[in-house]
Amino acid sequence: MSMWGQMSLMDPASPIQSEMILFHDHAMILLIGVFTLVSLVGMSILQSSFTCRTIHEAQTLETVWTVVPALLLIWLALPSLRLLYSLDEHSQAVNTLKSIGHQWYWSYEDSMIGGVTFDSYMIQEKDLEAGMFRLLEVDARPMIPLNLSTNVMTTSADVIHAWALPSMGVKMDSVPGRLNSMSMKPSIPGVYYGQCSEICGANHSFMPIAVEVVCLESF
């Protein structure tokens, strides 16, 4: 993969992640525009030798450089608030996936398969087969249904972890004694990978997350 490919966001597999990528592009338009304008103005000031010691105020200029940034902030804030409210929405989920963080593996409980509880450990490098991803493959993947809302709840049995699945636009802390939840609705079948996103100890890098999205009939 090229350097530019590594700098981009992961391909979206849910409506929420698609909205996040759109907001990222929206914000980058504003940032690049502001950076370009400030650079041009700065270069013109450096190259100009005009000075004036008699002007003490410029009401029109002060009004413009107050109103324009305020409008730009509103342009950035409105879609940001819309996305934040979308992330907090919990629609009528047909499935509930419970995730419990341990040092250093994950435990899952899925309501659609009778509340079966199982542990998910990273597959060691010496046991990997052809086509498997190093530090990302696990011996047991939770399955979630395609095109149906799944409510993911997470907590921790010891220290603070973080359950993150970038392609689904999900990232939430797993805190001991607290239950956090987010909703996701996968739109593309496949296997999606994530990792613990909170520094949780010596083997923090060795507790990956792998979720398999399958058609409802496959359950």
In a domain, 211, yes or no: yes
Mean pLDDT value across the chain: 86
Residue 215, pLDDT above cutoff 70? yes
Alpha-carbon torsion angle 12, 205, 183, 146, nearest 10:
50
Same domain, 58 and 104: no
> Is 21 a domain residue?
yes
- What are the CA-CA distances from residue 96 to residues 12, 25, 111, 208 (Å)? 21, 32, 5, 20
71-86 pLDDT per residue, tens:
999 999 999 998 888 8
What tokens appear for 179 in the block?
């239950």
Q: What is the DSSP string of 115-161?
A: SEEEEE-BPPGGGPPTTPPTTT-BSS--EEETTS-EEEEEEESSS-E
Residues 211 and 127 in one domain: yes
Residue closest to 104 by CA, chosen among 200, 174, 210: 200
Mutual angle of helices 59-88 and 15-47, in 10-degree steps: 160
The CA angle 196-186-131, to the nearest 5 degrees, is 60
Residues 15 and 119 in one domain: no
Residue 122: band (very low, low, confident or very high) from pLDDT cuts 50, 70, 90: very high
Which of 66, 88, 110 is the last residue in one of the domains? 88
Same domain (yes/no): 78, 101: no
Q: Are residues 115 and 187 in the same domain?
A: yes
Q: Can you give the residue range of the structural domain that contains 36? A: 11-88
Residue 213 has pLDDT above 70, yes or no: yes
pLDDT-based confidence at residue 219 (cuts at 50, 70, 90): low
Distance CA 170, CA 150 (A): 12
7 pLDDT tier (thresholds 50, 70, 90): low
Q: Are residues 112 and 186 in the same domain?
A: yes
Length of the chain: 219
Q: What local confidence, expressed as pLDDT, does residue 85 receive?
A: 87
